[in-house]
Amino acid sequence: MRCGYAGDRDETLIAYLYDDIDPAARGVFDAHLAGCEHCRAELEALGGVRTTLARWNPPEPKSLAAANPQSATRNPQWWRTIPAWAQVAAALLFLGVSAGIANLDVRYDRDGLAIRTGWSKPAAQSAQRPAATEQIGVASQSGGGQGFSPASKADLEALERQLRTELRSLAATPAVAVTRPAASDAEILRKVRALIDDTERRQQRELALRLAQAITDVNAQRQADLRKIDVSLNGVQNSLGVEVLKQRQSLNYLMRVNQRQ
| pLDDT tens readout for residues 131-147 | 444 444 444 444 444 44
In a domain, 258, yes or no: no
In a domain, 76, yes or no: no
Query: Which residues neighbour 82 within 8 Å (Cβ) at sequence distance 6 or greater?
Result: 90
Spatial separation of the C-alpha atoms in residues 40 and 36, rounded to whole Å: 7
Q: What integer pLDDT is reported at residue 41 of this predicted model?
A: 84
Q: Total domain count for the chain?
A: 1
Q: Quick: pLDDT tens for 21-77.
A: 888 888 888 888 888 888 888 888 887 877 777 777 766 665 544 444 444 445 555
In a domain, 98, yes or no: yes
In a domain, 73, yes or no: no
Nearest to 132 by CA among 147, 120, 149, 114: 114
**Strand segments (E) across the chain:** 104-109, 112-117
Q: Quick: pLDDT tens for 245-255.
A: 888 888 888 88
> In whole angstroms, how far apart are CA 242 and each of 2, 232, 255?
13, 15, 20
Nearest to 156 by CA among 142, 169, 141, 137: 137
Strand pairing category for 104-109 and 112-117:
antiparallel
In a domain, 21, yes or no: no
Spatial separation of the C-alpha atoms in residues 241 and 41, rounded to whole Å: 11
Domain of 120 in residue numbering reads as 85-179
Spatial separation of the C-alpha atoms in residues 32 and 167, rounded to whole Å: 114
> In whole angstroms, how far apart are CA 53 and each of 14, 15, 87, 223, 240?
15, 17, 76, 13, 21
Instruction: Look at residue 222 and give its three-state secondary structure.
Output: helix
What's the whole-number mean pLDDT along residues 194-207? 92
